[in-house]
Structure 1
Amino acid sequence: MFLALREMKHAKLRYLLIGFIMILIAWLVLFVSGLAKGLASDNASSIQKMNADYFVLQEESDHRLTRSILHEQLYQDISQYIDKKDTAPLGIKMATLADDNSPKKVDATFFAIDVDGMLAPSIVEGNMIDNTSTNEVIVDHSLRDEGFIIGDQLKDQASGKDFKIVGFSEGQSFSHAPVIHINFKQWSQINHSTANNEPFFNAVAIKSDQNVADQIKKAVSGIEIINKEQVLKGIPGFKEEQGSLTMMITFLFVIAAFVLAVFFYVITIQKINQFGLLKAIGAKSNYLARNLISQILLLTIMSLLISIALTYSVAVILPSSMPFELTPKLVLGCSLLFIFVSVIGSLLSLFRVVKIDALEAIGRAA
């Protein structure tokens, strides 16, 4: 470390430039990662936060909740193999709502649930609805940013049904639209009956292990059972959106590895004579390798600390409408991966240091 610090102090401008490049790359990685997580939450946070392990859908629904139609009898069949407190029907419907007091319209998603069951959301403001209510709803807190308050009336354009906001939930969105939780009594009022006039819903959420899920799948016909990850991938645009951002992040890590590899390799080539002299007076290859690793780790850690501070500073001034979420776990994961990539990028230079021949280097210097 002593030699590494002395060298960095001697060539300040050189190491400041590479440090600046590393800060920019790490900052971009963290920002895009936060954007990817924010978009994932904005697209599917209502599913991600559900207290469920598996979802029962109609067979051949292509893992999409909105394509599935299940009936009450099927729910009763499923309940024979699992405790009812660990199951809950779920209805989903995309809608456009209008405020009775203004021309403003918003896109939203109705989630029909048993409000006493395991899918009930947490309330951050106001009161919870009950299963007998005919016009009260819980809406996501993002609608408050749109100017809605408790007591406002919303009208479903498709059915003409009016609803009164009585409470706000938090982090409840689906397909980039705020979720409005209603009970099944209201669900039947905004949906047309199926051909045989049976009440229906889109899925049954269950909380169980794989064995119970397999048992239900074998015993009940006309269904498929998928886990939460498969449900998320079935949301339109979710997989493509996350795939694009993940590819961008991957390329940024690859670019970081190449930048570090090229920079330190060039530096190593320029210092071959010095390394040769150090070897000639007794310096071991592992000592020189530790010096190089120390420089890389020091630069990487300092760059990460600055980029983390910059990312959080920018996050504070971002508008609430921008889906950005940077958790400590995400920051830690990206930081460890960035350090790993930095060390991998130094392997070429390490190999060159180990292979330096002291006599050859001294002869070249002469």
Structure 2
Amino acid sequence: MFLAIRELLFAKTKYILIGLITTLTVSLIFIVSGLAEGLSADNASSIQGLAADSLVLEAEAEGELGSSFIPMQKAKEIINDQEQEANTLSIQMMNATVGGGDKQISLALFATERDGMLIPEVTEGRSPKQENEVLADESLKQDGIQLGDELQLGEETTYVVAGFTTEQRYSHTPVVFVKSDDLEQVNAVAVKGESVSEGAYSTIPKMDALHGIPSYSQEQASLNMMIIFLYVITAFVLAVFFYVMTLQKRDQFGVLKALGANNTYLISGLIIQVILLSIVSVGIATAISFGIGALFPADMPFILNMATIVQPAIIIIVVSVLGAVVSLYQVIQIDPLEAIEGVAT
């Protein structure tokens, strides 16, 4: 520890430069992670937040909610067969006009039992009581929607916004909850706990249904690939830096070995340097990322919190240490006699 800190202070310019590069790379990782989390929520927060553990779908749908069609009568039979609480769920993408005007907005209509477990918590207004009342995601406020406004779907169907909820998005559109009493078919039966299904119907965990949402898997795969490459870049940069630094210090390491320092002592000093550098870079990058995130527009799908940062931060530190391991071979192979002769000449 003493040797590691002394060297950091002595060659501070070199370490500040590599720390700056690491900080910028880590900041980019955090920002891309925030975008991945934000896009995931914007695409599927309504499914992620369902008060259910599994979904019963039509077997031929192969896990895709939009391709599953269950007759209402059969859905009621499935619900009656469950040992746990269960509700129907129908999803329909639609366009709506506001207050009979010309402005159109895209909506995801979630139809379920009015007093069922799938109705989310109301954050403003009240839960729908009348036949023509709905509960809407608060992101509709950005389109000028307020409590009491009318949403017209088609030529004859009109709903009144009775309340707002939060974090209810599906396929990058706000969700509106309506009753499912008059539907002839639904997309799924949501079950709290393990589900019982057989024959033409299959059960999948709630989170597996995310991959059936259009573009969800593609978006996440692209962003995750970018994050992986950034991890590799971080490891490569640190590996090259510490490898070159170790080569430059071969003579000094050799002298230390001649004075009695063993490989364990020298290697631990190198590892401590990497860990300290990584921790400081992660700390600064965290502040930078939160600062940049605060400047993004409110409607930008970006979610960055400590839960989002912890996992990438740990991976970065581990990857940094693994990158520096390349230099350990040079430390072990240093011959004290050759190093002393090199210094003497």
CA shift for structure 1 position 267: 0.3
Bigger drift between 295-304 and 71-80 goes to 71-80
Q: Which amino acid aligns with 2:307?
A: K
Task: Verify: 1:301 aligned to 2:279, yes or no.
Answer: yes
Q: Which runs of 5+ in 1 are unaligned?
A: 189-198
Q: Which amino acid aligns with 2:149?
A: D
Describe how 1:101-116 pairs up with structure 2 within 5 A.
102-116=101-115
In 2, distance between residues paired with 1:68 and 1:7? 64
CA shift for structure 1 position 170: 0.1
Report the counterpart of residue 117 of structure 2 in structure 1. Answer: 118
Report the counterpart of residue 214 of structure 2 in structure 1. Answer: 236
In 2, distance between residues paired with 1:92 and 1:274? 69
The list of structure 1 runs, each at least 4 consecutive aligned residues, that deviate by more than 4 angstroms after superposition, is: none
Q: 2:190 aligns with which of 205, 217, 238?
A: 205
CA shift for structure 1 position 234: 0.6
Describe how 1:336-351 pairs up with structure 2 within 5 A.
336-351=314-329
Describe how 1:123-134 pairs up with structure 2 within 5 A.
123-130=122-129, 133-134=130-131
Q: Which runs of 5+ in 2 are unaligned?
A: none
Q: 1:153 aligns with which of 150, 170, 182?
A: 150
CA shift for structure 1 position 344: 0.5
CA shift for structure 1 position 79: 2.9
Report the counterpart of residue 285 of structure 1 in structure 2. Answer: 263
In 2, distance between residues paired with 1:306 and 1:101? 51
CA shift for structure 1 position 76: 3.1
- Whether contact under 8 Å (2:79, 2:87) holds in the other structure is no
CA shift for structure 1 position 137: 0.8
What SS does structure 2 have at the residue aligned with 1:118? coil
Paired positions, count: 344
Q: Which amino acid aligns with 1:202?
A: N
In 2, distance between residues paired with 1:175 and 1:217? 27
Cα distance per residue 1:130-166 (max 9 Å; x no partner):
3xx3221111010112221101111113x54111111
TM-score normalised by the chain length of structure 2? 0.96
What SS does structure 1 have at the residue aligned with 2:90? strand
C-alpha RMSD of matched pairs (Å): 1.4
What SS does structure 2 have at the residue aligned with 1:138? strand
CA shift for structure 1 position 102: 4.5
Bigger drift between 163-172 and 68-77 goes to 68-77
In 2, distance between residues paired with 1:329 and 1:82? 35
CA shift for structure 1 position 100: 1.9
In 2, distance between residues paired with 1:68 and 1:109? 16
In 2, distance between residues paired with 1:295 and 1:146? 52
Q: Which amino acid aligns with 2:105?
A: V
CA shift for structure 1 position 23: 0.3
In 2, distance between residues paired with 1:99 and 1:116? 26
CA shift for structure 1 position 101: 6.1
Q: 1:253 aligns with which of 231, 236, 246?
A: 231
CA shift for structure 1 position 252: 0.5
Report the counterpart of residue 5 of structure 1 in structure 2. Answer: 5
Report the counterpart of residue 49 of structure 2 in structure 1. Answer: 49
Q: Which amino acid aligns with 1:319?
A: P
Cα distance per residue 1:53-98 (max 9 Å; x no partner):
1111112113211211111332233234323x61100011000111
Report the counterpart of residue 362 of structure 1 in structure 2. Answer: 340
What SS does structure 1 have at the residue aligned with 2:61? coil
Task: Verify: 1:99 aligned to 2:89, yes or no.
Answer: no
Q: Which amino acid aligns with 1:140?
A: D
Cα distance per residue 1:269-307 (max 9 Å; x no partner):
000001001111111211111111111111111100000
In 2, distance between residues paired with 1:135 and 1:145? 23
- Whether contact under 8 Å (2:59, 2:201) holds in the other structure is yes
Describe how 1:161-172 pairs up with structure 2 within 5 A.
161-172=157-168
In 2, distance between residues paired with 1:334 and 1:115? 40
Q: Percent identity?
A: 41
Report the counterpart of residue 217 of structure 1 in structure 2. Answer: 197
